[in-house]
Structures are given as structure tokens and as C-alpha cells.
Chain A
Amino acid sequence: MANLLPLLTLISLLFLLPHHTLAFSPDTPTGRRILVLVDDLAIRSSHALYFKSLTSRNYDLELRLADDPKLALQRYGQYLYDGLILFCPTVERFGGAIIKEAVLDFVDSGRDLVLAADEDASDLIREIATECGVDFDEDPAALVIDHASYAVSSTEGDHTLIASDDFIQSDVILGSKAIEAPVLFQGVGHSLNPANNLVLKVLSASPSAYSANPKFTLSNAPVLTGSAISLVSVVQARNNARILISGSLKIFSDRFEKSGNEQFLTELSKWIFHERGHLKAVNVKHHKVGEVDEPSIYRITDDLEYSVEIYEWSGTSWEPYVADDVQIQFYMMSPYVLKTLSTDQKGLYYTSFKVPDVYGVFKFKVEYQRLGYTSLSLSKQIPVRPFRHNEYERFITTAYPYYGACFSMVS
């Protein structure tokens, strides 16, 4: 038995090894292992293009039924996946050890989530969406209807298959190439909680849209109307976890060939799985002008230089991030200096400024928050001291009369 033990350890190590190498880490933000939960395994066929676009980008998809009793997100405290795709709008409860809180903890650990609801979405799916700041129309039979911008089709008469091209204006979320055709959408609309500033509307409905049950006449004014209806939204959490919430599962399917759906969703999945818009800052340096070493303290009115390098993850490597709006704050209770950093277009951002004539404990703060990018929050504490007794001006002409008076007095 004693001889077996090292062998067993080795085997278990070997078993764990690939998980570690593939695991999600700050150095490589794109996780590879994605769990896809579905209601019906036929989704593998009907949504094959979406899955193919993921597998062709080297994601490792594991497709499971949402009520599979063997489901687990983590084992021995380690997450088994880096991303979770919930294509199971009707699931009332997940199988295995997954509950709503487990999904939210998964996101809280910085991992990504894609959630698709549909008409008749279950309470579980709605609750997860609500936790992410997205409220689906409460009427379970409501669909987004648009009598003005619907997909013209000879077989769709009820105008619930709508065409929308009201995208968020952000190259980092949707790619630099414009989405070529409108996105076709059929499903539930949602609204965003205005107090939540982490959630963004990526695809909105047109001004003539409304959310209602197409089967019954409207007796009350619809709660969701016009471009306030969000069709697809994303959340970027404070820990940089990204969430995609769509009111339609069909939007992901292979049906809408000639529409912009495939491009839209592929680009969006690149953003969700951190192939774009993930920033890191390294080599934060500051020193007095003309020196190299970082001092432990500055004196008031010193001239200093500050530099930081910022890189963006491209899915495979860190590329220099180019922008002209990175700002530094010299901060004590409130910013004393707020300056835009100059850049060499190769990822290096630098500036120089004079330390204010106020002493105390300051911070160099870079708070970089841009639409679609992960937020950078750098903070470095640095004390600032007043002049020493011998650092004041020595020969003040104005004082000469006093010296003279003393001298003549003493003499």
C-alpha cells in the first residue's frame, strides 16, 4: 500500500496537470475550457455555426444537458471551466451541484458567462439575469414586436422576427469592422437597471418596437417600448468577468444565414472571452527629473517623471495598447494634478509634472475606464514633505536692511 501511494499521487498530478496549464490566469486572460449547458442536445446541430466559431478559435467546449446529474463547476475547490454558456432557457434547476449561487460565484471568480433566454424562460434563468442587472419582461409570453423594422419574409407574419442594427458604438466590443447586415432577433426584451453602470446595451430595439404578447390585444401600456428595450446586453464586472445576456437563443442558431447574426455574435464572443479589450499595466515607474531611481519621498515643488506601460491581450499575446486618453492623477483626498499621459504609440505612457506645494501622503492614481475595456486601477502611495530648514532661500535682498540694522546695532 505504501508503495502505491507515490504512484497514486503521480497519477492524480498528471490528471490535474492539463487543468493547471489551461487555467485562467492574469497572464493569459483567455480561458480555454467552456461548459455549454443545453436543454436539448439537438442544439449542437442547430447552433453548430456558433460552436464551430468557438472551437475554431481553440476553445474546448463541453456540451452537457442542463439537468445532467453529474454536472459540477468545480472540483476540490478548483474550477473546471473558464467559461459557461447557458443555452438552456427552460431549465428549472440545474443538475448536479450547480445552483444559482454557484453560477454567480463562478462569475465572481472572474470567469465569463453567456446566457440566452427565450420566451418561456424559466425563473432560474431570469433570476440569474436579474443578478447581473438585467430585467426581462415579466410577462412570460411577451415577445419583442416591431411593426416597422421586422425581417421581411414570406413565412413570418407576426413581426416578432425583428431586424435591428442599433449596435453599441464600440470597436472593442464589436470589432473594428462594421456589422454588415442587421441582426435578426426573435425573443424576449429586457431593460437595464439604470443604477447599474456595469451593464451595457449592445443591441437595442428600434423606436417602434414594444414588448407584448402577440396573441392578446394590449389592455395596458407595455412596460418596455422603443429603444429602451435591450435585446442583447453585456456586463463587465469589477473583477473583469464578462457576461453576455441575450433575450433570444435563436439569435445564436444557424438559421439566419444572410443576416449579421454570425458576425455580431462571433465578434461579441471574442470580447466575452477576453480576446479583446483586456488591458494590463506593467512597469509603473516614477522618479525625479534627471534621476533614474525611484525615491521613497518627494519634496514639494520637485519635478518628477511618471511612466507606465499598458498592453492589450489579443487572444494569444500581449500587444501594446495605443490610446491618447490615459490620465494620471496625483491624488490626496482629491486630485491635485490630473494630466493626460503622452504616448510613444508602443504601449509606453509617460508624463512629467511638478509636485504641488502641499505636503502629505499622495497617490499616483491611474483610473482608466473606457467603454468595453477592462478597467485599470493603479495606485501607488508616495509621501511628499515640505522644505527642510536649509532648503529655503538664503540671501533675500529684502532682508538686508534687517541684517544691516542688527550689525550696526551690535557693533
Chain B
Amino acid sequence: MRRGETATTTRMGPLGLLVLLLLSAISLCGAKIVYPISDSHRSAALELFSPSFESLKEAYEALRTFEVLGVEINNYRSTQACQSVLNTLGSSSSDVKDVYYALRVQKILKCDAGWENIKDVTLKLQSTICGASSLFDFYFSVGSLVLIKELDIDAEVKLEDANGVFRSIKSLGQSDGRWRYNSNNPESSTRAAGIAIEALAGVVSLAPLDVDLSLIGSVKTSIAKLFESIEKYDDGALYFDEKIVDARDYQGPLSTSLSVVHGFVALADVTSEAINVPREKLLGLAKFFLCVGMPGNAHDFYSQIDSLALLERNNFSIPLILSLPSTVLSLTRKDQLKVTLNTVLGSSAPPVSVKLVQAAVSGSKDSPIINNQELRFDSASGFHVLDSLPESADVGPYEFSFRVDLPDADISNFYATGGITKVSIYLTGLTKLEGAEIAILDSDHGSIDTKNKLELAGKNSVALSANHLQKMRLSFTLSSPLGNAFKPHQVLLKLRYETNIEHVFVIGNSGKQFELILDFLELVDKLYYLSGRYDIELTVGDAVMENSFVQPLGHINLELPTTPEKAARPPPPPVDPYLRYGPKAEISHIFRAPEKRPPREVSLVFLGLTLVPLGGFLIGLLSFGVSLKGFPTSAVPAVFAILFHLGIAGVLTLYLLFWLKLNLFTTLKILGFLGVFLLFTGHRILSHLASVSAKSKSA
């Protein structure tokens, strides 16, 4: 099997691969390098958001995502959304939350809305703020007022008691930087903190006069505290999450982080003073949102894109993402090392220089192959390119360290690049495999019995035979493209017995020479004394080899001694599931053959023969003449005599009937009666005969 045949080209968005790298047990973020938002996100967004909206919130999330990604919003979506905006803003009974999202949609779509009702809406919002107790009431109504103000229509939007509102929102805050949703609920939440900070920023922008600086200062300290509780993945990605997860209200880390980002960006927009958020943390947050890849759920997708958009346009620090289009470089194709530097949404970075600080074989203490080399910026493609790898670069896994150098202090204060970025790079190439041969050696003096040359590029089918006193030797040389010794990760020889029992051997090397000697005398136990045909298969493969292969080499017939009693039994061969379940062979019962009978004619002849004496008797009877002399002449004995003979005839008829149809029980019953009758008549007739003979004697 060659690589070209089975390797499956699978095109995936670059983001698709991020999470796959090793080391980390965390399932969401495990990537070492992250990639900015790309076109695959745009197509995914169109698939993910349903064409019709169920609520204004959903509409806003979809439209905002499309706006950030620069995806065109189709007419159907915009008409539909505008219609519900009009309905919501036109009605005085709309929910504050709906008004808020309607205004947000309006900000994106700029529908032709009639503003006749806007004063009522404004008044209603202001009264909601006065009576509000829950954080969401503040958030939606303050947010709506800010949006109405931004609409730039002549509606009077002001918050008279800004300081008071500020304090009442602030009163929901906790000492650890988190917030409560509502004054009755003691549980605090990180997401609520983000919402509260955004609401506070809104209050500041609505205030007719400046809000008390000490109040803003206290919010800043709580932001700092919030950032202290930020959570961290192994690769440096940072995110906010709830401390106590209540499954009902829990929105997930994306949503929580989004709300915090919203909060501090909004506050940074309205205050003139700087907010002390370390730039590395913003970069960590950006990495988190990017390493999520492509969320499969619409709300998460929106959270990701909206946060990245805020991180990209915030006014204190913009994260820059260093990424590589390819981390597998083929020496055969002379691939160039390319690095791109983008903002999180994929727009190009300001002019910077990228320096390759070091490139060394990973996990080795050898001297690095590249030290401090600046990459050439190719303005046509937008890549920072390393024109050629040094001559000494051989195949192997490398670790490259990059550093982004910003030209002047102004820019370097504004952008966050995260210091040195380490990336694993695989340099692949074609290895040279030569001089392969397989031989059978005689054990005692090591002389070669048979020897076969192998063409590892072509097909081989050697047929060897050996007994347990011999050895098999397989040898070849393998070297890297530069002619150095190279040990692939997988150099295995497999012997497969007829019943699918496999034995795997690792082929060892010294330098370029690879050799495996199988001494069958030592192996008989391991081979379970099974003589017969073994198929030989050689596998050579490595992550940096472009010519990895699995190849059947042929077979060897082994003659091994008979199994001693104590030897281990071979393991049961794996059962083929397809054979296990087939229908069974049909079975039909073989009935006992009926006994053999003579032909009908024979039976009838014999029947005739048995009837011959009877016939003879009857003929004799007739020819000698029947003497009825003894038959009683007087009336009464004559009647008994006739009855007696009729009784005998009846018994004979009964026997005939018994044969023809009656069963034993009926027959015996009737026979009982007939017997008594016969006994009686017989007794009478015999006693008569006896008296007659007694008379004649006495006479």
C-alpha cells in the first residue's frame, strides 16, 4: 500500500484542525497555534443561522454575525427583521428586552421606521429604570436608551439621576468582581458582571453631567478583580466562566466571556481614562475565542464572532495572531516556510517584522539549525517568508520560535503579540532504502543457506523454508535525504500464521544499517510450536517520511518441533462476526422406515394355505355326513341347543367385529354377556345330555 493510494485528502477549514494537537487533555482548547477567522466561517454562518427568525434576539445575533463577517444580508432576512422591529417599536406594550433587540437590529439594518412612538418608548424606558430591581431591567432599558440616543433623531434622551442609577446597579456588585442578577438572589455570576459593566457604561454615556469619578474607579477595580479570576487553558488561552454552574441559567464559557468583553469595551469607550487590563490577557481571550474553532450552535457562533469583533476594534489593545498556513514542509517539494500575521478577524496587520528566533530539532540538545533570522515580507501574498531552509535541515520534527517585532513604540504599545510563539514544524522528505535482503542462516556456523534480494519499491514474494535450528535475517540500509542515519518510528516486521495469529518484531538499527535476526530456536515458544506457513510483512513509516510503506514480502514455511505438553496454548483466533451470525443448515427429521412386509400376494397365498385344513375339515364333514343324532328332540333341550350354537356363532361374529371395528373393551363387555349366556345354555344342554346318557346306561 503506498501512501498515495490510501491517504485521504480531507479538506477542512484551518480552524477545523486546531483542537487536535496533543498534550492537553482539555477538549475545547488544545491548540498551540490558532488561526484567524477565515472564509470557512462565512459559509458556516450562512448554514448555521436559520433563514427565519423566531425572536428579535435571534435576529440580532444572526445579523450582527453577518455584519462582522461581511456576509451579505439577503432581502428576505432584512424585510422580515425590519417588520418585527416596526411592530415592536410601534407598540407601546412591547417588552423592554424586545425593544432593546429591536433597536440593535435597527442599528444594523437601518430600516425605514416611523419614530412617532419613540417618545413614549423613551418615557417608558426611563420609568423602567426608576423602578428597576433586576440587572436585566437596567441592562435592557439603559442599553435601549443608549441606542435611541445613537439613532440621532430628536428625542430627548437623558438620564437625570445618573449617579443614583449607577449606585443602584453598583449595589448588586460583589466584592470579588462578580455581580448578582437581582437583589433578591444571593448568587453572583461572572456573566452578570459583564452585563452590569455594560449597563454602567451606558449610564455614563447617558449622564447629562459627568458621573462621579470615584464610582467609575470602583468599577475599574472590580474589572481588575474579574480579570484575576480569569481561567486558563494549558496553551495560554484565557476565558471567563461561572464559578458555580447552575445548569438552568448556564450559558457556557463563550457567552460568559462575551459579556465580560462587552462590558469592559463599552466602559473603555465611554471613559477617557485607561482601563488596566493587561494586553496579554486580551490576547489570551482572543486565542480562546479562536481556538474554539467553528461552534456548531448559533448562539455560541455569535458569541465568538461578536467578541472577536470587539477585541479587534477596541481602543486600548488589539491582539495580533501569528499563524502558519502549513506546519508540514516537504523538503522534496522545497516548501517555503510562511508565516502570516493578522488581526483576529483576519485583516492584515500593520507593518511589522517577524523574526525566526530559533529552529531546532524538538526534544534534542543539538545546536539549532537557524538562529535569529528575519523573515522576508512578501507584500504580494502578505506572507512573511523564509526563502530557503538551510542546507543542514534534514527531515524531522522541529520546533520553530517566532517573535514579532513592532517597528515603533506607539504601535507596540497598542498591539498585543504575545512574545515568542513556538510552533512544531515537520520537515518531511523521501528516505533512501537500499540493499534489502532476506536470508536463512544455519545456526551453528552462521553460513548462509538461502538468500533473496528484495526490491522494496516493487513487489516481492519470496518463498522461504526453515526449521527451528535455523535463523532468518532481514537487513537493509535506510538514510535520510541528506544521507544521515535516520530511524523511523515504525520499523516492524510482522509474521502472520495461517490462523491469523500475528507476531510483531521491532527491527533495530546501528546507524544506517537495519537488521533483524530471528532465531527460531528461541522463538519456538513464542510461535506456539505451530509449524506451517507464515506470511512476512514489513512496515516502515514515520511522520516525516514521505515514502512510508507496508509491504508483504512473501512467506516462510517453518518446521518446528512438536508441541511439548507444558507449552502455552495459542490464543483463540478472533471470530469473524459475519460468520458467527449466518443461518444454520436445515435439519429434517429422518422418520423410521416402516417394517418390510411381504407382498400382498404371498400373504394371500398363505392365508389360503391356512384355510386349507378348515376347508378339508368342512369337506370331510360334508362327505362323511353330519350326524345330528345326538341333537335333542324334545322341545326345551332343543331350544337350548339351538341357543347354545347361536351363542357360539355370536362369539365368532364378535371376534370378527373385534377385528373389523370394535375395540378390546367393548368386545370384552359383550363377550362377558355372551359368556354368561353360553355358560347357562351350555350347562343346560350338557346336563340334559348327561341325564340322557345316564338314563340309557341305567336302562
Contact = CB atoms under 8 A, between A and B. Distances in A.
Interface string A344-374: 0000000001101110000000000111000
A337 interface: yes
Contacts of B266: none
A301 B591 contact: yes
B10 A256 contact: yes
Contacts of A155: 14, 17, 324, 326-328
A74 to B, nearest CB: 19
Interface string A185-201: 01000001011010011
Interface residues of A, number: 117
Contacts of B425: 157
Interface string A207-232: 11010101101111110011010000
Given A41-B250, A168-B577, A356-B591, A221 B505 contact: yes
Interface stretch (B130-138, B295-303, B448-456): B295-303
A221 B504 CA distance: 6
Interface residues of B, number: 106
B14 A150 contact: no
Contacts of B37: none
A259 interface: yes
A9 interface: no
A155 B571 CA distance: 41
Interface string B578-622: 101111111111011000011010011011111101100100000
B678 to A, nearest CB: 14
B552 to A, nearest CB: 10
A338 B586 contact: yes
B617 A157 contact: no
A64 B248 CA distance: 11
B25 A118 contact: yes
Contacts of B26: 39-40
Interface string B236-272: 0000010001010010111000000000000000000
A147 B428 CA distance: 12
Contacts of A226: 494, 502
Contacts of A27: none
A39 to B, nearest CB: 6
A47 B587 CA distance: 52
A399 B494 CA distance: 77
A240 interface: no
B397 interface: yes
B578 A371 contact: yes
A160 B14 contact: no
Contacts of B16: 255-257
B549 interface: yes
B581 A370 contact: yes
Interface string A240-280: 00000000011001111111000000000000000000000
A120 B247 CA distance: 27
B7 A249 contact: no
A411 B656 CA distance: 13
Contacts of B27: 38-40, 42-43, 46, 87, 89, 118, 249-250, 253
A143 B22 CA distance: 10
B589 A336 contact: yes
Nearest to B325: A154
Given A46-B19, A253-B19, A371 B592 contact: no
Query: Which 7 A-B pairs have CB atoms at the shortest separation, nearest pair first?
Result: A147-B541, A48-B296, A157-B426, A154-B326, A408-B614, A147-B548, A401-B606
Interface of A: 38-49, 51-52, 62-65, 68, 87, 89-90, 118-120, 143, 145-161, 163, 165, 168-169, 181-182, 184, 186, 192, 194-195, 197, 200-201, 206-208, 210, 212, 214-215, 217-222, 225-226, 228, 249-250, 253-259, 301, 325, 327, 329-330, 335-340, 353-354, 356-358, 369-371, 389-390, 394, 396-401, 403-405, 407-408, 410-411
Given A118-B27, A257-B294, A408-B614, 9 more contacts: A42-B252, A147-B3, A154-B325, A225-B504, A253-B19, A254-B293, A327-B584, A405-B610, A407-B610
